Chains A and B, each alone.
Chain A
Amino acid sequence: MPSYRMQIYGWLLLLPAAVLLIAFTHYPTVATLVQSLFLSGSVTRPAVFVGVENYQFMLEDDVFWQAVRNNIWFALGTIPISIALALQMALWVNRRLPARGLVRMAYFTPTILPMIAVANIWLFFYTPGIGLIDQFLGLFGLPGHNWLGDPDTVLACLIVLTIWKEAGFFMIFYLAALQSLPPELEEAGKLEGAGRWYFFWRITFPLLMPTTLFVVINALINSFKLVDHLFILTKGGPNNASTLLLYYIYEVAFSFFDPSYAATLTVALLAFLALVAIGQFVLLDKRIHYR
């Protein structure tokens, strides 16, 4: 019976991890899916099965679409710029420069700060009239602006803040990847007369592709996951101009007390994220493996 016993051993070893995973990941996911098919009940009224009605409602919900639009703009605004900045900074601090350690730390500091603290710092920048930005503009005689109160600028404000916070984090990954590139490659390039720009696009950037993929996925997930700053800065306003999907889910669940509809929105978000992850791994993975 040794193989039979080995099997039991195997399952026993897996058990702790499996229990945690099932209790806190798989069960909630399935429960959410199930709940999204019911209409929220209350103390006096039990939940009623309504099938896909919640989903139909979602598709007709203007705020939902607004949140989706906002989220897409938010992602498009933050991801490319924060990655480009991260790469730029990594290339910069990877070179020999005075006080390199200090510069690296300075770039990394925003990452260590909690999002709430970051939001508070930027609140001080954005405050109309007395905020740093308005004071700066005042030096040139320009009028102040209610940055967070204007539906046209609020999303851009959030994007700037998020880039500021995330670029340093992504820089660390690029820096690690750059330092793992053998220096002889650059020397070989130099001997052949390749300029910095040419060498970067022909050699460095392609070799950093695995890191870029990793960072893109992280950035994308973060752009749907990071909502802490909304609580401090805008609460989704004005007029839902800065509502992001996750924040909307939170509002539906805990301000409007509609857990079923919140579950429906959650399923939509999960489905979307899963799709993105699969797409990225399948499509991009093929093209960037050298070793």
Chain B
Amino acid sequence: MSEIVLDHVSKVWGQTTAVDDVSLTAAAGELLVLLGPSGCGKSTSLRMIAGLEEVSAGRILIEGRDVTRLPPAKRRISMVFQSYALFPHLDVAENIVFGLKVRKLKWAERSARLARVAELVGLGELLHRRPAQLSGGQRQRVALARAIVAENPICLMDEPLSNLDAKLRHDMRVEIRALQQRLGMTVVYVTHDQTEAMSMADQVVLMCDGKIVQAGRPEDLYDRPATTFVASFIGTPPMNLIDLTDGPNGAVVAGAAGRAVLQGPGHGLRLGIRPEHLRLADGAGIEGEIVSADYLGADTILTARVGNQSVLLRVPGRSGLATGEPVRIAWSPESVHVFDGTSGRRMEDGRAVPVAA
């Protein structure tokens, strides 16, 4: 089926290595999200799959066929560009059927497909407008329509929603996901927005500096981040990463002489814990002091100082806490992650046993 495989793929421009030995597999019918900060090589990877950029090393396979040296048109791929890349002098209908005309499809077939696709993305009334006469969201739909009208099994999308406002972005996210599932397309979707990745993806591939840091289901990345980079990239607000140090009864938070948070030595370790897994406690818990409170409506993000570390907590509703107020922070041991302080890697070896605070 329409599966995409990158096999040790690299892209080098002179001194810069944009993509460094990347291997991944997008299963047929899967929505794979390439996620990462700006400049990490997401677009470059996508463009190599499309054939718009030559591969420096490695192989690309589509449906089991080696397409590494194939021109874009031979790969049976559609693409939605970040800038939409609509032809400004052609109307919506002409833009959508551009590729069908290139392939010399019969008029009847063309108009049948056009009607179907226009219906699907809700562009019916706008077929005779020029791109300049459309809103951002409508242009986005035209780009999407042009991609799906070809009925290619694979569609690549490069930050297709980055030009839209928050509301429209949410709606389009849902629409794209629904469309992808209905048509059974294999989609590789590039974004630097982790919310988009978490909500849409079957598989998230998180990249940094041209390398894959972690790949897996959204919940894998959320529940078991492989490195501190993943931990700090996934989730809003991101996971707290707290430096630890040795204490009398086990590891303690750096700069705080309070309760032990891990058994054994703590020097050189970092404790990871998500703001939503922290709670304010009465008696037990480690001591801290409120630095600020961000009220978001449904909940409030508190910033607290513990030792010389700052910690974010997500608490429901308004907290009613004032700056400088002392608090006690508690958590349950299973929500704790432990990372090596220098390599940033997750530690699973049982050396560090979390304790509830």
Contact = CB atoms under 8 A, between A and B. Distances in A.
Contacts of A202: 98
Contacts of A182: 83, 85
A191 B102 contact: no
Nearest to B103: A193
Interface centre among A185, A191, A202, A290 (most CB of B within 10 A): A191
A291 B77 contact: no
B103 to A, nearest CB: 6
Contact of B89 (A192, A193, A207): A207
B132 A188 contact: no
B222 interface: no
A192 B88 contact: no
Nearest to A190: B72
A190 B71 contact: yes
A285 to B, nearest CB: 14
B73 A191 contact: yes
B132 A191 contact: no
B88 A207 contact: yes
A161 B51 CA distance: 44
A290 B89 contact: yes
Nearest to A185: B85
Given A193-B73, A193-B99, A188 B88 contact: no
Contacts of A192: 73, 98-99, 102-103, 150
A191 B88 contact: no
Interface string A184-211: 1101111111100010001100110000
Contacts of A185: 85, 87
Contacts of A291: 88, 132
Given A290-B130, A290-B132, A193 B85 contact: no
Interface in A207-247: 207
Interface in A159-198: 182, 184-185, 187-194, 198
Interface majority SS on A: helix, strand, loop or mixed?
A: helix
B79 A191 contact: yes
Interface residues of B, number: 23
Interface residues on A, range: 10 to 19
Contacts of A190: 52, 71-73
B336 to A, nearest CB: 46
A187 B87 CA distance: 12
Interface string B188-202: 000000000000000
B102 A187 contact: no
B81 A188 contact: yes
B262 to A, nearest CB: 51
A182 B52 CA distance: 15
Interface in B42-57: 50-52
Contacts of B85: 182, 184-185, 187-188
A75 to B, nearest CB: 28
Given A185-B87, A198-B102, A191 B130 contact: no
A207 B78 CA distance: 23
A221 B77 CA distance: 48
Interface centre among A184, A187, A188, A206 (most CB of B within 10 A): A188
B354 to A, nearest CB: 49
Contact of B81 (A184, A207, A290): A184
A125 B89 CA distance: 45
B83 A184 contact: yes
A193 B102 contact: yes
A290 to B, nearest CB: 5
Interface string A101-132: 00000000000000000000000000000000
Nearest to B84: A184
Interface in B199-227: none
B77 A191 contact: yes
Contacts of A187: 50, 52, 72, 79, 81, 85
B52 A290 contact: no
Interface string B113-143: 0000000000000000010100000000000
A187 B80 CA distance: 11
21 contacts: A182-B85, A187-B50, A187-B85, A188-B81, A188-B85, A190-B73, A191-B51, A191-B73, A191-B77, A191-B78, A191-B99, A192-B98, A192-B102, A193-B72, A193-B102, A193-B103, A194-B99, A198-B102, A202-B98, A203-B89, A290-B89
Chain A to chain B: the 8 pairs with minimum beta-carbon distance, closest first = A193-B73, A192-B99, A184-B85, A188-B85, A290-B89, A290-B88, A184-B81, A191-B72
